[in-house]
Amino acid sequence: MTLSLTASKAQQLSLRSASTADIAALAALEAAYYETEGYPEALFFQALHQWPQLLQVAVSEQEVVGYCLGAPGGEPHSLWLMSLLVSAKQRGKGIGVKLLKHWLAIAEQLGYQTIQLSVAPENHAAIELYRQNGFVEQGLQQDYLGAGQHRLLMTRQTLTCC
């Protein structure tokens, strides 16, 4: 599914499933934001092969400017939102909101009922975005991603029924 939205007069935004041609750009987005701790290209290739509909990209002027990645959870009909990232120069334009809504719609079409995520507790903008899109805080987990890497766990229940 590809969705085109006009972000401004000069900028067209497309939301679509990722392709192998996007992987270098996805890894570059990760490296720009997370430096050495970002997801490598190999993870994106693996995700694309295993869950192609759960890796969605935002493209503006033929450049990948963001992505949303999910993976099935351990329980039936559950899904994890692993990452939502928009390039630094494109933040504040509503791309993250549009990308998340697009990804959530696909997740619901696929029949997922519970969507979970973890977010850095100091990432107030992301927490607010998730709250506005139906996610509820489940609690703070100390050392969730390793020593000193605390995460706020959030969950969203969908209206999808099996």
Q: What tokens does 98 get?
A: 């549009």
At 7, the pLDDT band (50, 70, 90 cuts) reads very low
For residue 15, what are the CA distances in angstroms to 62, 74, 94, 147? 11, 27, 13, 36
pLDDT tens-digit profile of 68-103?
A: 999 999 999 999 999 999 999 999 999 999 999 999
At 10, the pLDDT band (50, 70, 90 cuts) reads very low
At 119, the pLDDT band (50, 70, 90 cuts) reads very high
Is the pLDDT at 123 greater than 90? The verdict is: yes
The residues, ordered by sequence, that sit 6+ positions from 21 with a Cβ below 8 Å of its Cβ are none
Is the pLDDT at 161 greater than 80? The verdict is: no
CATH tag for 3-157 (out of 3.40.50.10800, 3.30.1330.40, 3.40.630.30, 3.40.50.720): 3.40.630.30
- Determine the 3-state secondary structure of 117 from DSSP: strand
Are 11 and 52 in contact, with CB atoms under 8 Å apart? Answer: no
Instruction: Provide DSSP, 69-111.
Output: EEEE-SSTTEEEEEEEEE-GGGTTSSHHHHHHHHHHHHHHHTT
Return d(Cα 12, Cα 5) in angstroms, integer: 6
Whole-model pTM: value is 0.88
At 145, the pLDDT band (50, 70, 90 cuts) reads confident
User: Which 8-state DSSP code applies to residue 133?
Assistant: T
H or E element in which residue 125 lies: helix 124-132
pLDDT tens-digit profile of 26-46?
A: 999 999 998 888 899 999 999
Q: What tokens does 84 get?
A: 């939502």
For the purposes of burial, counting CB atoms within 10 Å of the CB of 68, is it exposed (0-12), middle (13-18) or buried (19 or more)? buried
- The predicted structure's pLDDT at residue 2: 55
